[in-house]
């Protein structure tokens, strides 16, 4: 996995929220800031195109009867907008159409889902 990495701005706020209510806020916040400050990471803002992608993904999942967490819909919308691979162990991304999802397995091994 070389090259640039994309981090959506909205779910970053969700991470900080979770950190504030956990026992290791300072450590976790430092780790997230270090990730964001990495020169290979681009933080992508939420714009009109992202919002449009969000509405399409959420609507499609609703029709399928396969809702996923709201922040994950935002993450998928950013992946769709930027053409980035979405790397995650969360299997519910397999229900999102038109994204390139790379499934992580335990111990950092990754496997591409079947097409």
Q: How much is the pLDDT for 35?
A: 84
Contact 110, 102 (CB under 8 A): yes
Q: How much is the pLDDT for 112?
A: 57
Measured CA to CA, the distance from residue 59 to residue 78 in angstroms comes to: 16
Please state which of the four CATH numbers 1.20.140.10, 2.30.29.30, 3.40.50.1010, 3.40.50.970 is assigned to the domain occupying 5-84: 3.40.50.1010
Q: What's the start-to-end Cα distance of the chain, in Å? A: 20
Q: How much is the pLDDT for 84?
A: 87
Q: How much is the pLDDT for 3?
A: 60
* Residue percentage of the chain with pLDDT more than 90: 35
Q: What is the pTM of this model?
A: 0.73
């Amino acid at each position: 996995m070389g090259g640039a990495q994309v981090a959506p701005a909205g779910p970053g706020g969700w991470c900080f929220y979770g950190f504030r209510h956990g026992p290791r806020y300072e450590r976790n916040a430092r780790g997230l800031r270090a990730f964001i400050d990495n020169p290979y990471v681009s933080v992508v803002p939420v714009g009109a195109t992202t919002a449009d992608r969000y509405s399409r993904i959420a609507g499609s999942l609703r029709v399928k009867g396969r809702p996923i967490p709201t922040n994950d819909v935002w993450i998928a919308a950013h992946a769709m907008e930027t053409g980035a691979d979405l790397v995650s162990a969360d299997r519910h991304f397999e229900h999102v159409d038109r994204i390139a999802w790379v499934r992580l397995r335990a111990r950092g091994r990754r496997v591409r889902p079947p097409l």
